[in-house]
């Protein structure tokens, strides 16, 4: 019975190889076999990813592009095409859903699949893993690596071990041999600090960690973290694969006590809703690829319009701009008032996938949250100077300003110096650099809400 027991889990982890670069090599065959680097091409650009040919020169994700150019002067440097990557990722997810209803996308190019109990339908799991691997390669045209193991922790490590282009299976009886030589830093939840603390005590590999007594781990790290390390060292992990099969979306709606007639009022309200929705999106750790608006007129006719974004975002200004553009795209009945407005965000992808050059919007989101937490739930409206805002003098995010950012925010976007008194209400917030997607020469106005 033992190993054939119905409770034994089988989790698959898939991750595409050098994802953005591989898609570029797929679409432009002349780039195959050449060092391809995808990322921000501007002066302060950062590498999103490098093909394995470019990695041989020491180029890797998150490195400044300028440095990558020095290391790999003959590399082909390309700007990312997110819509295309999302298309390939969607094909991958569709293939996975054919094998199990429980698929958890972890970032754009990777996912967990719970294959437990699929044997009756698809045959032995080892064969299913091979079939998934083959189908993704042939149907997307992009190489990927797969790991198959009794849990998520081991499945992810297995797909890493299989890179590039391989498949690795960890059976229950192989766990110790598979984990022992790995550095402790490879374990989920073991960050640089824990790694250092362990190294100071002579613990470098998972094998070393396994030999440390549970009571000693407790005394070093406390009961909870100690117990967790003990479990990780043995490859134990019960966390479930979270299916995201139900299409998730986030929306904000308001029915107005008095109908809105003027287009500028409608646009202003839509912006507020968009910023509120973007803020929830960021709090829940998502990026959106689709923005929707909903308009209900006083005669109860209701219209929705939506647009697909060129790249996933939680940037409140970009989302607000899309919402207003949608408003202006359709017919307007100036004589019939607007009774209800809504902004919805869909096509959500986990924010763990956040291209490096999109980090600044994160700081903007953090700045907005900082102000909200100081001044209450909805203290802000948001607009662009020159769009007829009533008090454009209040707090301008100057898209050209570079210098004072650090004086305003620490790296997590929290304000320094606490307090948050009334005197700070009118202080200008500044973005740390100019590459944040706000059109040049347009600032961003943060307005305390009236009343
Ligand atoms: P990863 O799966 O981490 O990396 P990869 O697919 O490029 O390479 P590997 O073969 O090692 O899996 O990330 C997937 C994509 O996400 C990557 O192609 C580009 C993007 N990305 C960034 O934009 N910035 C980053 O810092 C990282 C790590 C990835
Ligand atoms: Mg990858
Ligand atoms: Mg990945």
CATH number at residue 98: 3.30.70.270
Q: In the block, which residue shows the tokens 């032995």?
A: 124
Across-strand partners of 43? none
* Contact 109 CB / ligand 1 (< 6 Å): yes
* Residue 243 pLDDT: 77
Higher pLDDT, 419 or 83: 83
The single residue of 53, 104, 110, 311 carrying the catalytic annotation is 110
User: Tokens in use for 118?
Assistant: 């699929």
* DSSP label of 350: E
Instruction: Note whether 366 and 345 are same-domain residues.
Output: no
Task: Report yes or no: 24 and 38 within 8 Å, Cβ to Cβ.
Answer: yes
Percent of the chain with pLDDT over 90: 57
Q: Is the bond leading into 346 cis (omega within 30 degrees of zero)?
A: no
- Ligand 1: residue of 13, 15, 18, 19 to mutate (most ligand atoms within 8 A of CB) is 19
Region 212-231: mean pLDDT is 95
User: Tokens in use for 346?
Assistant: 């869909």
Cα torsion at 62, 147, 84, 328 (round to 10°)? -90
Residue 242 lies in a domain: no
Instruction: Note whether 98 and 147 are same-domain residues.
Output: yes
- Domain boundary pick from 353, 377, 398: 353
* Contact 85 CB / ligand 1 (< 6 Å): no
Cα torsion at 84, 86, 88, 93 (round to 10°)? -170
Identify which of 58-72, 103-117, 348-362 has the greatest average pLDDT: 58-72
* Residue 155 pLDDT: 98
Number of domains in the chain: 4
- Ligand 1: residue of 41, 61, 160 to mutate (most ligand atoms within 8 A of CB) is 61
State the distance between the two ends of the chain, measured CA to CA, in whole angstroms: 70
* Contact 442 CB / ligand 1 (< 6 Å): no
* Residue 372 pLDDT: 59
Task: Report yes or no: 433 and 356 within 8 Å, Cβ to Cβ.
Answer: no
Higher pLDDT, 405 or 355: 355
Domain interval for residue 186: 180-233
Q: How far is CA 441 from CA 311, 397, 401, in A?
A: 23, 11, 11
- Mind listing the pLDDT tens digit for each residue in 133-181? 999 999 999 999 999 999 999 999 999 999 999 999 999 999 999 999 9
Instruction: Note whether 267 and 329 are same-domain residues.
Output: yes
**Closest ligand 1 atom to the C-alpha of 52?**
10
Instruction: Note whether 109 and 36 are same-domain residues.
Output: yes
* Contact 19 CB / ligand 1 (< 6 Å): yes
Instruction: Note whether 137 and 68 are same-domain residues.
Output: yes
What is the CATH number for 281? 3.30.1490.100
Q: Strand 286-297 to strand 76-78: parallel, antiparallel, or no bridges (unpaired)?
A: unpaired
Instruction: Note whether 45 and 137 are same-domain residues.
Output: yes
Q: Which protein residue's CA is at the shortest distance from atom 20 of ligand 1?
A: 48
Ligand nearest to the CA of 18: 1
Residue 59 lies in a domain: yes
Instruction: Note whether 336 and 260 are same-domain residues.
Output: yes
Instruction: Note whether 281 and 383 are same-domain residues.
Output: no
- Domain boundary pick from 322, 353, 384: 353
Give the Å distance between the CA of 287 and the centre of ligand 2: 18
Higher pLDDT, 19 or 445: 19
- Mind listing the pLDDT tens digit for each residue in 365-394? 556 666 656 655 554 544 443 333 333 322
Higher pLDDT, 203 or 83: 203
* Residue 10 pLDDT: 97
110 catalytic, yes or no? yes
- Ligand 1: residue of 40, 41, 49 to mutate (most ligand atoms within 8 A of CB) is 49
Whether the per-residue pLDDT at 412 is higher than 80: the answer is: no
pLDDT band at residue 311 under the 50/70/90 scheme: confident
Residue 256 lies in a domain: yes
* Contact 16 CB / ligand 1 (< 6 Å): yes
Give the Å distance between the CA of 56 and the centre of ligand 3: 19
Residue 210 lies in a domain: yes
Instruction: Note whether 359 and 344 are same-domain residues.
Output: no
Instruction: Note whether 163 and 59 are same-domain residues.
Output: yes
Whether the per-residue pLDDT at 187 is higher than 70: the answer is: yes
Coil, helix or strand at residue 139: helix
Instruction: Please name the residue ranges forming H helices in 201-246.
Output: 206-210, 214-221, 223-233
* Contact 60 CB / ligand 1 (< 6 Å): no
pLDDT band at residue 248 under the 50/70/90 scheme: confident
* Contact 355 CB / ligand 1 (< 6 Å): yes
Region 228-240: mean pLDDT is 94
* Nearest alpha carbon to residue 149 among 130, 166, 169, 132: 169
Give ion ligand 2 contacts, CB < 5 A: 15-16, 19, 109
In angstroms, what is the C-alpha Rg of the chain?
25
Task: Report yes or no: 59 and 68 within 8 Å, Cβ to Cβ.
Answer: yes
């Amino acid at each position: 019975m033992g190993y054939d027991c119905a409770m034994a889990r089988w989790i698959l982890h898939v991750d595409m190889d050098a994802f953005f670069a591989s898609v570029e090599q797929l679409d432009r065959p002349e780039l195959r076999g050449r060092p391809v680097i995808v990322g921000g091409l501007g002066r302060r650009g950062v590498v999103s990813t490098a093909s394995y040919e470019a990695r041989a020169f020491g180029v890797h994700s998150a490195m400044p592009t300028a440095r990558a150019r020095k290391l790999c002067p003959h590399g082909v440097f390309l700007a990312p095409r997110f819509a295309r990557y999302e298309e390939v990722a969607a094909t991958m997810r569709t293939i996975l859903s054919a094998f199990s209803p429980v698929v958890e996308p972890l970032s754009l190019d990777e996912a967990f699949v719970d294959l437990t109990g699929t044997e009756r339908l698809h045959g032995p799991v080892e064969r299913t893993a091979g079939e998934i691997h083959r189908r993704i390669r042939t149907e997307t045209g992009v190489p990927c690596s797969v790991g198959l193991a009794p849990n998520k922790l081991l499945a992810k490590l297995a797909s890493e071990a299989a890179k590039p282009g391989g498949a690795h299976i960890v059976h229950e009886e192989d766990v110790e041999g598979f984990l022992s030589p790995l550095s402790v830093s490879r374990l989920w939840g073991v960050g640089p600090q824990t790694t250092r603390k362990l190294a100071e005590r002579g613990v470098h590999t998972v094998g070393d960690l396994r030999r440390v007594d549970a009571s000693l781990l407790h005394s070093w790290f406390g009961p909870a973290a100690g117990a967790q390390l003990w479990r990780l060292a043995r490859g134990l992990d019960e966390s479930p694969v979270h299916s995201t099969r139900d299409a998730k979306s986030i929306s904000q709606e308001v029915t107005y006590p008095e109908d809105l007639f003027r287009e500028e009022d409608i646009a202003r309200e839509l912006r507020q809703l968009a910023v509120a929705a973007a803020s929830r999106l960021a709090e829940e750790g998502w990026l959106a690829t689709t923005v929707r608006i909903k308009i209900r007129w006083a005669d109860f006719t209701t219209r929705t319009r939506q647009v697909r974004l060129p790249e996933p975002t939680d940037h409140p200004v970009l989302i607000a701009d899309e919402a207003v553009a949608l408003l202006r795209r359709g017919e307007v009945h100036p004589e019939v008032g607007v009774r209800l407005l809504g902004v919805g965000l869909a096509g959500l992808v986990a924010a763990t996938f956040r291209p490096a050059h999109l980090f600044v919007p994160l700081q903007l989101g953090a700045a907005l949250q900082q102000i909200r937490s100081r001044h209450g739930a909805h203290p802000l409206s948001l607009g662009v100077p020159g769009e007829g805002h009533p008090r454009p003098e209040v707090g301008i995010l100057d898209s050209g300003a570079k210098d004072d950012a650090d004086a305003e925010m620490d790296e997590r976007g929290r304000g320094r110096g606490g307090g948050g008194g009334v005197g700070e209400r009118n202080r200008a917030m500044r973005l740390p650099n100019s590459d944040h997607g706000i059109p040049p020469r347009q600032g961003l106005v943060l307005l305390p809400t009236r009343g």
